[in-house]
Structure 1
Amino acid sequence: MQMKFDLHTHHQRCGHAVGEIEDYVIAALDQGLDAIGISDHAPFFGSDKEQELPGVAMAKLEFPAYVEEVLQLKKKYANRIEVLLGVEADFLPDHVHTYEQQLQKYPFDYVIGSVHFTLGRNIFDKSRWESADASEMLKVKEAYYDLIAASAQTGSYQVLGHIDAIKGFCPEMADLKTNKVDEALKVIAKNHVAIEVNTSGKMKDCGGWYPGDDLLERAFHYNVPITLGSDAHDPQRVGDDLEAVREKLKSIGFTEWCYFREKGPVIVKL
């Protein structure tokens, strides 16, 4: 029997998702999943503010309650589905140690490390691309993949989130060639960090998934571990495109993927 899981989901605490955590667990049951990972945005631990960006990530005071709620649901649904405690943490080079100190307080099954900020601006800020020419885009893309590679080297993450999300509102990014992409993939493979196939790219201007087929094929070439995350911000998207992703990965040559329990990979056949 083929394993069905989804490691990347959010809920109302982050301020830009809908539904309670239990709604996502129930949706996972409805989709016939064997495991559901809850991985809402960690607070901005590097900030002195209680909530640096309301509507982007939860307040610091909310974090212990978030963890406790997931742990309670893990117990409640133990005989029906495996509920995994995860978190999506921003990779901010100047604050890696601060994040580690905070996240080590809790029994996470996995941490997703994501790059959302490059050269001082959010990658999903549409306005930054309005007047950017190819040289500026290439500069940002190369800085982005430098950060991706650096995040893989920290040892802080089991999964790297949406590793070509830089194309989200700038689809042209996908066609800009740079060796930085392959260099990052080599570093990811060397450090045995998984990348996710994140099916939320379809919600952005670029369409499709993160990463695209070309990058997935190169990830396979470098033997990068692979996992799945819908990045659902609505319970209706839990497990979105799971079977299509499975078939795509098999067509590329992947024979297995993984999820995480107590920060260790659980390898399962595709």
Structure 2
Amino acid sequence: MKKETMNINKTNYHIHTYRCKHAAGDAADYCSAAEKAGLEAIGISDHTPLPDGKWGSVRMDIDELPDYCEKIEDARNEFAGRLEVYAGMECEYFPRYEKFYNDTLREEFGIEYLAIALHFYPLGGEEISTHAYPMDKDALKSYTDLFVEGIKTGMFEFAAHPDLFLARYPSWDSYAEKCSERICNAATDSGTALEINGYGFCRDDFSGYPSDNFWRIAASCGAKGVINSDAHCPEHIDIGFQRCLELAERLGISLADPVRRAAKPS
């Protein structure tokens, strides 16, 4: 008898707005797309602004925070009873930003969940882009050290595209396996979900993730997964979902709902 397919994924907590300067649409646009796609809950999680203005070309400006939160609240009210809408942020992890994430994002602006993501990591006295340069073992160690440190803080509801490094590391080897084990064990120990990223399946400019090799380790470590699309336009509200579900089913990844668990919409 043919094994039944998993139910459709009903949530998406990784969504960007036009404010990050490389996406399109605002909260209400994504809500409309989510409703049409049959989703039950979404979270807007744009690239957070940073208090020092770092990497400003790929994230919102800090003075856009009030409008960002206002538009999410407006969408929440407009779609009340039809779609759950949560306010989130995708956050670079460096220890110097922890106070800003806790005090400003969560406490002052009421951001309900945070996702850790490493688009930058320290190497040779600089902080370099994960997207821009090939990774060797030294680079992967630095990436892994920082990711594990951030996950262990317990500040973040999920880790976005944790296997992103495989788009720049030359090939799967014993060192990639060791680093993946460290990331997955940190997630399991802290109760942080790991994101199966639908956008990664659909990119032709930066491919390599999601990786079966990584997710086999996640399954063996008992890490929980969450499926998101990493949408950069409303049309991508559920991009890659079917392949993410198939990966989770094939490899035995247990799925979680870390945002609903942590936050309740007002």
| TM category, shorter | 0.7 to 0.9
Q: Displacement, 1:150?
A: 0.5
Could you say which residue in structure 1 is the equivalent of 2:17?
A: 11
Q: Distance in 2 between matches of 1:260 and 1:95?
A: 21
Letter paired with 2:184 = L
> Is 1:227–2:250 an aligned residue pair?
no
Could you say which residue in structure 2 is the equivalent of 1:241?
A: 240
Q: Displacement, 1:20?
A: 2.1
Q: Distance in 2 between matches of 1:3 and 1:19?
A: 22
Q: Distance in 2 between matches of 1:5 and 1:262?
A: 13
Could you say which residue in structure 1 is the equivalent of 2:216?
A: 217
Q: Distance in 1 between matches of 2:103 and 2:90?
A: 15
Could you say which residue in structure 1 is the equivalent of 2:203?
A: 203
1:29/1:208 CA distance change after superposition, 3 Å = farther
Q: Distance in 2 between matches of 1:173 and 1:60?
A: 38
Q: Distance in 2 between matches of 1:24 and 1:90?
A: 23
Within the candidate set 80, 83, 87, 1:81 is matched to 83
Q: Distance in 2 between matches of 1:225 and 1:23?
A: 29
In angstroms, what is the RMSD of aligned CA positions? 2.1
Q: TM-score, normalised by structure 2?
A: 0.86
Q: Distance in 2 between matches of 1:38 and 1:182?
A: 29
Gaps of 5+ in 2: 1-6
Within the candidate set 100, 121, 146, 1:118 is matched to 121
Could you say which residue in structure 1 is the equivalent of 2:28?
A: 22
Q: Displacement, 1:223?
A: 1.1
Q: Distance in 1 between matches of 2:104 and 2:171?
A: 34
Q: Displacement, 1:247?
A: 2.4
For this pair of structures, how many residues does the alignment match? 251
CA displacement 1:140-178 (0-9 Å, x = unmatched): 01111111110111121011111121233x251544624
Q: Distance in 1 between matches of 2:55 and 2:9?
A: 36
1:40-119 superposed matches below 5 A: 40-45=46-51, 47=52, 51-104=53-106, 105-119=108-122
CA displacement 1:70-105 (0-9 Å, x = unmatched): 122112101111112111111112322233221222
Could you say which residue in structure 1 is the equivalent of 2:45?
A: 39
Q: TM-score, normalised by structure 1?
A: 0.85
For 1:118, what is the secondary structure of its paired residue?
strand
Q: Distance in 2 between matches of 1:7 and 1:206?
A: 21
Q: How many percent of aligned residue pairs carry the same amino acid? A: 25
Q: Displacement, 1:3?
A: 5.2
Q: Distance in 2 between matches of 1:109 and 1:185?
A: 24
Letter paired with 1:172 = P
1:171/1:30 CA distance change after superposition, 3 Å = farther
For 1:33, what is the secondary structure of its paired residue?
coil
8 Å CA contact retained: 1:186, 1:222: yes
1:79/1:255 CA distance change after superposition, 3 Å = same
Gaps of 5+ in 1: 130-135, 266-270
8 Å CA contact retained: 2:229, 2:239: yes
My pick for the range that moved more, 85-94 or 189-198, is: 85-94
1:5/1:108 CA distance change after superposition, 3 Å = same
Q: Distance in 2 between matches of 1:41 and 1:90?
A: 8
For 1:143, what is the secondary structure of its paired residue?
helix
